[in-house]
A and B are shown apart, each in its own frame.
Chain A
Amino acid sequence: MDQVISTYSQIKPFQIRVNGRLEYDDKNFITFAEFIKPFFKRLNLGYPKFYKMDSLSKLGFIAAELVLRQVNLDLFDNKRVGIVLANRSSSMDIDLVHQESINDRSHYFPSPSVFVYTLPNIMIGEICIKHRLKGENTFLISEKFDSRLLFDYVNELFQHHRVDACLTGWVELLKEQFEALLMFVEPAGKAVSEEKAGMMIPFSEEAMDELYKTM
């Protein structure tokens, strides 16, 4: 059975879109932190762990929240919902913070709460914890958004029946440059409301390229 992108989110400075619809737009922000905090509060999640996350995880967490709140996850076995994400800079944004903390031996203050985020897949862990997802998960690195890389990886998981659904996309953040495109991919025709059925986008490289371009 073919897969569709049933819902998606797009985040860039300083705009947030869900399924193409503008959710948040304010040109007055200067930093990612200023931009994301009021939006997180508006989501009313009551999830204080968010404040402990590094910026990359915050970006991925919000992008995932916006996608997964559109999905009835109860319809899926949580061991069979995968997450396949990619980016360009790995965890470099927080790597620089950790390096700063050890550069000077007289001001040597490495912190476990910073160091733990110096791996890009921690963001996957944060999303899994929030949404109780336990399936196949992978973090890939590519110089640019690579729809083929994501398509091949995710498609293989569906072809070999390793997942019933998969959250996939691109979450990149480095020094105030950021962009996220997350998509929920599921088999066409599975438990989809009539109303949503018309919005389904066939899961393909071309569709992902189009969504990335229209960010």
Chain B
Amino acid sequence: MLPVYIASDNIITSLGNTTTRNMEALKAGRIGISIHTDPLLFPSPLPLSLVDTGLVEEQFQAILEHHQKKIDPGDFTRLEKLLIISIHEAICKLSYNFMSRKTLFVLSTTKGNIELLEARYQGRFPHRRIFLWEMARIVGDFFGFVHPPLIISNACISGIMALLTAFRYLRSGNFDHAIVSGGDILTEFVISGFQSFQSLSPTPCRPYDAGRDGLSLGEGAGTMVLTTRMENKPANHVRVTGTATSNDANHISGPSRTGEELSFAILNAMLEAGLSARDIGFINAHGTATPFNDEMESKAIVLAGLTEVPVNSFKGFWGHTLGAAGLIESVAAIHSLQEQQLIRSAGFESLGVPEPIHVIVNNEEKQMKSCLKTASGFGGCNAAIVFEKV
């Protein structure tokens, strides 16, 4: 099996449109969730983490010029623009030629261009644009990827699933490089649905905290470029070394009561990586700040024997970015690992989950060689991925 290296990445959230800006914001403790009053999104004010549309338009125009494309920016949806910007930012950092027949493009999203169902978009785009395969084709064609995109839509674990799929296809030598990108935007469709579940917090979310009362929604895009070609690995590089998914087989909209299924996904990923509990520097967990999710995660972490390992959730900073979350948060996790820096779990003050996990309260330097990223979602799905600094 071939080693799979992370060659480059990008994050776009409310906190900025580059990985560097997002990492600076996380380390400085800046929160991207704020009250928004936008009747096109929701009838009343709501805390949300939104990407600055003005910046997106400006940057997208610059990218069109960079690629010398004479296309009307209005021909792309907001999500397509975010994905194109994110991929552009990630690939323009590469110093090698990643374009070949053996380049895989993996895209993760939950709802894609779902906003096109709204009356205000009627007639603006061809009907087929609503389908995920068409959106992926538009984004892939922008960059000229030869291989048809591989599209994952698996609720809130989509982003990790996109990464672990790329890892699995690369290690067996089927592909040399993978561009893995994920995105979701906030729409009336998504916000109204979560609100009907009564799962939204009236204030920025507080993962694992005793006072947590629901999640905050966010939007964004994230990209990682993976390669198996040794000569392309950057200095201070990180590898993907273990992956697993599982299903609770318990409830379609509530997590496992025991955490057993997430715990064996974690253990399978660690087994594949050949690591034990003391090798894991920190866990960047899902941490949505809904009462049941965080409770389940605490049980899973303890069941997996990781009680002593520091845990954080980035959702207190930029909310739950749905199909992008696994990618965005993985990028931030690997940068924490590279910088040997634990980042505090925003919104957390006192432990409010049944098991004694160690939530990170203060930023802290730590010598570590690997980290674990997990996610869980509707449909009872769980995913775990291990990143190792070599």
Contact = CB atoms under 8 A, between A and B. Distances in A.
Interface of A: 78-79, 83, 88-90, 92, 95-96, 98-99, 101-103, 105, 108, 110-112, 115-116, 118-126, 128-129, 131-143, 149, 152-153, 156, 159-160, 162
A101 B248 CA distance: 30
B252 A136 contact: no
Interface stretch (B94-102, B296-304, B375-383): B375-383
B379 A125 contact: yes
A160 B151 CA distance: 22
A9 B192 CA distance: 37
28 contacts: A88-B131, A88-B133, A89-B131, A90-B153, A92-B131, A99-B114, A102-B188, A110-B196, A116-B197, A120-B153, A121-B153, A121-B381, A125-B251, A125-B252, A125-B381, A126-B252, A128-B247, A133-B249, A134-B261, A134-B264, A136-B244, A137-B154, A138-B152, A138-B165, A138-B245, A140-B152, A152-B169, A162-B244
Nearest to A86: B151
Interface string B139-171: 000000000101111110000010001001100
Contacts of A134: 246-249, 261, 264
B interface, over-half SS: mixed
B151 A142 contact: yes
B330 interface: no
A156 B169 contact: yes
B132 A129 contact: no
A27 to B, nearest CB: 30
Contacts of B148: 142
A119 B249 contact: no
Nearest to B196: A110
Interface-centre pick from A90, A119, A134, A159 (highest chain B CB count, 10 A): A119
B13 to A, nearest CB: 22
B240 to A, nearest CB: 14
B364 interface: no
Given A136-B244, A143-B133, A79 B165 contact: no
Contact of B132 (A111, A141, A149, A162): A141
B125 interface: no
Interface-centre pick from B119, B194, B379 (highest chain A CB count, 10 A): B379
Contacts of A101: 192
A116 B193 CA distance: 8
B132 A110 contact: no
B117 A95 contact: yes
Interface-centre pick from B131, B188, B248 (highest chain A CB count, 10 A): B131
Contact of A116 (B118, B168, B188, B253): B253
A8 to B, nearest CB: 22
A116 to B, nearest CB: 5
4 A-B pairs with least C-beta separation: A125-B379, A115-B193, A141-B151, A128-B249
Nearest to B110: A119
Given A99-B117, A135-B247, A136-B244, A112 B168 contact: no
A214 to B, nearest CB: 25
A90 B247 contact: no
A98 B168 contact: no
Nearest to A137: B247
Contacts of B43: 105, 108
A98 B133 contact: no
Interface-centre pick from B152, B153, B168, B250 (highest chain A CB count, 10 A): B153
B131 A139 contact: no
Contact of A95 (B114, B197, B244, B380): B114
Contacts of B152: 138-141
A125 B244 contact: no
B373 to A, nearest CB: 17
A119 B153 contact: yes
A112 B247 contact: no
B174 interface: yes
B150 A140 contact: yes
Given A112-B253, A128-B380, A156-B172, A118 B245 contact: no
Interface in B99-147: 110-112, 114, 117-119, 130-134, 136-137
A115 B378 CA distance: 11
A22 B153 CA distance: 32
B276 interface: no
Given A79-B264, A102-B188, A125 B378 contact: yes
B357 to A, nearest CB: 23
Contacts of B261: 134
